[in-house]
Chains A and B, each alone.
Chain A
Amino acid sequence: MDPIIILQAGVASGTVLLFATIGEIFTERSGILNLGLEGMMLIGAMSAYKTALATGNPWLGVFVAMLVAGLLSQVHALITIQFQADQVVSGLALTFLGTGLSMVFGEGLSKAGAVALLPSFSIPGLVSIPFVGPILFEDQSVMVYLGYLLVPLAWYYINRTRPGLHLRAIGEYPAAADALGINVNRLRYFYVLVGGMLAGVAGATISLAVSPGWFSHLTTSGQGWIAIGLVIFAQWDPIRAAGGSYAFGALRRMILDIQGPLKIFGLRNPFYYNPYWGFFLQMLPYAFTIVVLVIGSREAIRKRMGAPAALGLPYIRGERGL
């Protein structure tokens, strides 16, 4: 129960949520809700692991994961943008499809043995900052550092650049964006792709860095759904998404560690004496997701803000939207 270790591991496992959440923020900001995150992450985790196993090159694994998850996301794009189908049902279908595909192509992969993982290292200099250094910069996976870079980049892109302005426009008021000469549907395809590729990276981060291996459909253990909850909590803002992701990562680690010691805060540790109480600990991330949703939704009502106005609606030129 060393808090430094819990936070350090929390940042690592939170990185998975971070990639997935920021990817989904891009997709939802463009007006498309993609509930298929879990499926895309699974197929990313599987294809990354399988590629790294076959080639010995984990970077190639990350690349293939982005490619495959991105490809899967385009199924959703086609169905919701071109065919104007219900985005909720299509997202669910994508989850089934991704889960099924990764189970079929990942058959036997769990017994495959050791695989080359993504490198971990410390950042010299930064690591010696007291308290923060060991948590953020000591012996972390390269994906964690990439995550640190992604947060400000995503924020800057969405809020301070012209393409980011277009992204927000097609999600808030597509008809106006269309009138300005922005190709709404083409951009939506693109941002669904971005979300899919980042989900693939999230999957690869699981199977090649944070908790290496392939455990069939249990590999992601609902993290794709937690990420969708986090998007709402984050109010579609990458910086809040980072806070939420790392907090959830730390929570996941704390649940593992809390069952170790004989005593907590000088009291008898009930989780040590009856390990089955651990099932209640296992519920915590999911219960917290609901709590986080309540907070996010209440705040959205209070501040009169929230989801991109056109989220979930297909754009058909000439038809009155909104």
Chain B
Amino acid sequence: MTTKPSLFAQYRSGARFRLRMEPRMDQPGWLGLIVSLGAVTFALVLGGFVLMLVGGDPIRAYAFMAKAAFGDIGVFSDTLVKATPLILVSLAAVVAFRMRLWNIGAEGQFYLGAFGASLVVLTPILPPETSPWLMIPVMMIFGALAGALWGFIPGYLKAKYNVNEIISTLMMNYIAVAWNNYFIFDVWSEGGFQMSRQFPKTAWLPRLTDYAAQVPMFRGLTIHLGFVIAMIAAGVVWWILYRSRWGYEIRLIGDNPRAARYAGINIVRNTILVMMLSGALAGLGGMLEISGVVHRLQGAISSGYGFTGIIIAWLAKLNPILVVPISILFGGLLLAGREIQPSGIPMLIQGIILVCLIGSDFLFRNRIRLVRVGREA
């Protein structure tokens, strides 16, 4: 056995090299994590450059954002409040994307969920003095149903007429916002303001701060029961996807639709059902947001949560459990981002993160090698 000459020695002796990509046969889990972390870091650095370009100080901005989102227990509680709707819309994206259904309509389904929950309180379907033990579950069901309906329409059109769901779900977003606007401007408007009246306390999700009388430590902590519900939802989605027969069908269709069809799986029915489940999750998110935070129906209840959910789902590699910690990080980004100028910065950073992330998938799937190009070439 002779040792191979070093690359440099080969180069000196006239060999030429070029970069070659070859598919990676083994894809270790830790590598995915490192590549994702690298992509996010790279994205933050790029975002910093843009910040510098418009005259900001990226180091100070990032330090400020970290402090404003995770600096103490109070702001961390606010971060978790922001993370709650994000977890649900991300789960909505995870479920649909796992079947390679591109539901971009979580935003609209979120709005419809808020509308459905408001129906219960404002119509009113249940009188205001109803016990919260009944009120909250009924609101959750109505919110999820309204979201599911909003997912059903594009799902049905996709299954029956092969209508591109990306565009139909997006169009449904605009329709949902106009629909809600009609109700808050006209039907449920309170004294001409563009919002409904405040919900009765029975329709509020309990917050930690509500128990400040018993436990003084909880004073000012806005985190509400919705966060727990969101974590339960993550567990349920994980169970559906990885432990149930339905989830197996969803994953099989996503990985290989042809094989799924040969296996006798009903793709039409699954397309509609998955879109409805996805819509229901996003709708539940809308319900939790108005019942836990806003306490009334109003415009702009979402600052593009539906779209942030897509990035979170992708970062989590469509893993419902990983969605929770990543949503908390993004909750922090959104919370702190509100105070960052210019206002487009959080959106920009999200965009750069997603671009770097899908770019980095390539590194995960392929090995980059220096290969020797034949001397005679």
- A residues sitting closer than 8 Å to B (CB atoms) are 35, 39, 75, 78-79, 82-86, 88-90, 92-108, 216-217, 222, 225-226, 228-229, 232, 274, 276-277, 279-280, 282-283, 286-287, 289-290, 293-294, 297-298, 300-301
Contact = CB atoms under 8 A, between A and B. Distances in A.
A293 B168 contact: yes
A93 B352 CA distance: 8
B102 interface: yes
Contacts of B307: 92, 96
A84 B366 CA distance: 11
Contacts of A90: 355, 358
A106 B361 CA distance: 31
A228 B164 CA distance: 10
Contacts of A104: 50, 54, 342, 344-345, 348
A205 B172 CA distance: 26
A289 B165 CA distance: 12
Contact of A100 (B166, B175, B182, B349): B349
Given A88-B102, A92-B104, A103 B348 contact: yes
Interface stretch (B68-76, B126-134, B155-163, B204-212): B155-163
Contact of A290 (B157, B185, B311, B352): B157
A290 B176 CA distance: 14
B238 interface: no
Contacts of B181: 279
Contacts of A298: 161
A287 B355 CA distance: 30
Interface string B163-198: 110111011101100110110011000000000000
Interface size range on B against A: 35 or more
Interface string B308-350: 0011001000000000000000000000000001111111111
A294 B164 CA distance: 9
A85 B351 contact: no
Contacts of B357: 93
Interface of B: 50, 54, 102, 104, 157, 161-164, 166-168, 170-172, 174-175, 178-179, 181-182, 185-186, 307, 310-311, 314, 341-352, 354-355, 357-359, 361-362
A294 B157 contact: yes
B185 A276 contact: yes
The SS class assigned to the B binding surface is: helix
6 A-B pairs with least C-beta separation:
A103-B344, A100-B348, A96-B351, A97-B351, A107-B342, A83-B362
A30 B205 CA distance: 52
Given A89-B310, A94-B355, A104-B50, 20 more contacts: A82-B362, A83-B362, A85-B362, A89-B354, A90-B358, A93-B351, A93-B357, A100-B348, A101-B351, A104-B345, A108-B342, A216-B344, A222-B170, A225-B171, A228-B166, A276-B186, A290-B172, A293-B164, A293-B167, A297-B161
A61 to B, nearest CB: 20
Contacts of B354: 89, 92-93, 96-97
A275 to B, nearest CB: 9
Contact of B350 (A39, A82, A96): A96
A229 to B, nearest CB: 5
A121 B345 CA distance: 40
Given A99-B351, A100-B348, A297-B163, A83 B343 contact: no
Nearest to B314: A89
Nearest to A274: B186
B178 A283 contact: yes
A290 B348 contact: no
Contacts of B349: 100
Contacts of A102: 344
A107 B204 CA distance: 37
Contact of B175 (A232, A274, A286): A286
Contacts of A89: 310, 314, 354, 358
Contact of B352 (A84, A97, A217): A97
Given A83-B361, A85-B358, A286 B174 contact: yes
Given A88-B102, A297-B161, A103 B343 contact: yes
Given A100-B345, A104-B345, A301-B162, A290 B168 contact: yes
Given A103-B344, A104-B348, A86 B358 contact: yes
B104 A287 contact: no
A99 B354 CA distance: 13
A100 to B, nearest CB: 3
Contacts of B314: 89
